[in-house]
Structure 1
Amino acid sequence: MSQDAAGKEIAMKPTIRDVANMAGVSISTVSRVMNAPQTVVESKRLRVLEAIEKLKYQPNGFARGLIYKKSNTIGVMIPDIESMYYAGLIRGMQDAAVQLNCSLMFCNTDRDKDRLLSYIENFYEKQVDGIIFASDALHPAYYEKMTRFHFPFVLASTHSLDYDIPSVDIDDESAAYAAVDYLAREGHRQIGMISFPFGAMISGQPRYDGFVRALRDHGLEACAAHVEFAEHRYEHAYQASRRLLEKAPNLTAVFAASDEFAMGAITAIQDGGRSVPDDVSVIGFDNIRMADMYIPKLSTVAQPVYEIGIRAIQKLHELITDGSVKQLREKLPHKLIIRDSSKPLR
């Protein structure tokens, strides 16, 4: 006890030393119980938890989470925090988390396997209630690690056919088909694509498949060879577009697997001395905020990115609360938006 200016006694907030003394352990043991409980033998761990509860020791959210088995924190793994696509996704997640009185802990994986696996361990140490895994393919190593730690988790803007994991995304194949079908119906007969690599992102193969199916339906099978692959950024798409234009100089339209790819394609076309859309039409994918600000304004397939973020958090909350979800693989609607970067070929 201590005294204030008027001489009244004030109850002091219990410290980690008080917990250690009551439990008969060292301060470092108390810290390990709060941050890495699996490293402490059960008898000591139980004594520490009992002391925490008796003293009402709450240095942060961890102690409360250990006692009530809930931290109200969700871990979110984002492949590339710099990507324009993820701004809307993150905003949707954040707004949903506020409504559910949860906190989000974001990690930028850079699509690095070791880093991602390390983040899963960090989430375990921080006692998060569940994980949102965004955009990338769910490789077996990721699945095995998250299930070994008994994490509830949901896939956002991706899905898995190998595992029965709740997911929220769109039908990528149908969305890509809509874009290429539009180009073909508008008279284009020389159509190319800038695609994601297959396997690296779950949307790579389906968007390519939609491209090929639309070509086939319009008798344009020969255009299936007009594809170049790019990694995830504008500069990669620019180089891929240069290669595509060298391989198929008579192209009148390009379908890009993302809006950032579409911007790279437009720059490559213009640097090659042609104009968009007068010489070459370009359609992107995602409808990021920049799509309507870019010059020319991008025609694109709009994903409900904000809604995907909201539904991913809501679905994870449902999984944590009920132990299951009503709809395992949820597909939200896409929409084709035609702006200034494409025009009919007459």
Structure 2
Amino acid sequence: MKATIKDVASLASVSISTVSRVLNNPELVVPRKRQKVLEAIRELNYSPNALARGLIHKRTGTLGVLIPDISNLFYSAVLRGMEDAANRSDSNLIICNTDTSAARRNSILKVLYEKQIDGVIWTSEPLPSDSYEMFAKLDFPVVLAATHSLDYNLPSVKVDDEQAAYDATVYLIGRGHTRIGMISGPKNDPISGYPRIQGFLRALRDHHLKFDEAVCVEYGKYHFEDSYEAMKRLHGKYPEMTAVFASSDERALAAISYLHENQIRVPDDISVIGFDGTRMAGMSFPRLTTVAQPLYNIGYLAVDKLLKVINGDHIGELRTCVPHQIIERNSVIDCPQPI
């Protein structure tokens, strides 16, 4: 049976609090008692667990990460950044897939509370009032990653989604495309839906291009299969388009798949640009041009901010906007000129 702090205290003939001081503030314990405790620890092969340390410091060194869909390609680099930041501070992550379900989310938060986590990172989704109230009730420090909230003063890290979508569209216009379609997430999504749609439409307006939003924008859910169908619908109503802006790399890959299966060449007939900068963007054929978020940095900075909140340190700006960039590959070419 694994030795406990109580076993160490008994063998060394000291109190449990003395063992705790030896483990965490040894300079506060007289050398004679300190030596007895260290000898007992070696004899029993005692190793304090996270819960024991948490009872001493009111911390467990554990952070919860809530993700709406762990299967999304977007999260691998974000989680790598989170892991590296957590490991640098001797913390660990508990990664939880909420499946965008309020009931599942609330159940997860109760489990995290029972595990005495130190704080939570909320990713991608808008923060609903019931979850905010539960965070307050459970006394969880919270940082938002790849999302933000204007309703609550919570620290966040994300790109400017509207400007990134604007720049992606301007890039296509700069390559000579004037008939540009878009496949997007739901318009009522205030994080990656509506802002990216507005950026796309603003770019068309600023460059005085004629467009009908009902024709050139197609909405859908976030998975590959939904995006494939969205591209099918978009091409059916806007066959004359020469370029497509997809509001995620997964959507862009779905668009390329649909076009390829229907003998429409990418980029010769229709250029495609994505959004996110996932690893898969560089593995497709053709390799995907995309407006890239600094996914690793978003994850890293979110954990860094959360640890500062937990430790009572100054976090700097409340809402951090990280820069995006366009990565040029092979899925966009200059608009073919009519013969």
Q: Is 1:270 aligned to 2:255, yes or no?
A: no
Deviation per residue, 1:97-156 (Å, 9 max, x gap): 111110111101111111111111111111111001111111111111111111111000
- Cα displacement (A) at 1:208: 0.6
| 3-state SS, counterpart of residue 273 of structure 2 | strand
> What TM-score results when the alignment is normalised by the length of structure 2?
0.84
The answer for the alignment partner of 1:156 in structure 2 is 145
The answer for the alignment partner of 1:77 in structure 2 is 66
The answer for the alignment partner of 1:295 in structure 2 is 285
- Cα displacement (A) at 1:82: 1.2
In 1, distance between residues paired with 2:202 and 2:251? 21
In 2, distance between residues paired with 1:221 and 1:195? 19
| 3-state SS, counterpart of residue 254 of structure 1 | strand
User: Given that residues 215 and 224 in structure 1 are in contact (C-alpha distance below 8 angstroms), is that contact kept between their aligned partners in structure 2?
Assistant: no
The answer for the alignment partner of 1:45 in structure 2 is none
- Cα displacement (A) at 1:60: 3.3
The answer for the alignment partner of 1:137 in structure 2 is 126
Counterparts of residues 16-165 of structure 1 (less than 5 Å): 53=17, 60-165=49-154
Structure 2 gap segments, 5+ residues each = 21-45
| 3-state SS, counterpart of residue 211 of structure 2 | helix
| 3-state SS, counterpart of residue 74 of structure 1 | strand
In 2, distance between residues paired with 1:147 and 1:323? 20
The answer for the alignment partner of 1:26 in structure 2 is none
The one-letter code matched in structure 1 to 2:253 is M
> What TM-score results when the alignment is normalised by the length of structure 1?
0.83
In 1, distance between residues paired with 2:85 and 2:5? 35
Aligned-residue Cα RMSD (Å) equals: 2.2
The answer for the alignment partner of 2:30 in structure 1 is none
- Cα displacement (A) at 1:191: 0.7
| 3-state SS, counterpart of residue 270 of structure 1 | helix
- Cα displacement (A) at 1:83: 1.2
In 1, distance between residues paired with 2:324 and 2:161? 9
The answer for the alignment partner of 1:46 in structure 2 is none
Which piece of structure 1 moves more, 217-226 or 295-304?
A: 217-226
In 2, distance between residues paired with 1:261 and 1:194? 7
- Cα displacement (A) at 1:58: 7.7
Structure 1 gap segments, 5+ residues each = 1-11, 23-50
- Cα displacement (A) at 1:334: 0.3
The answer for the alignment partner of 2:42 in structure 1 is none
Give the direction of change, closer, same or farther, for the CA distance of 1:52–1:129 in structure 2 (3 Å limit).
Answer: farther
In 2, distance between residues paired with 1:254 and 1:292? 18
The one-letter code matched in structure 2 to 1:64 is R
Q: Is 1:182 aligned to 2:171, yes or no?
A: yes
Identity over aligned residues, as a percent? 48
In 2, distance between residues paired with 1:248 and 1:296? 22
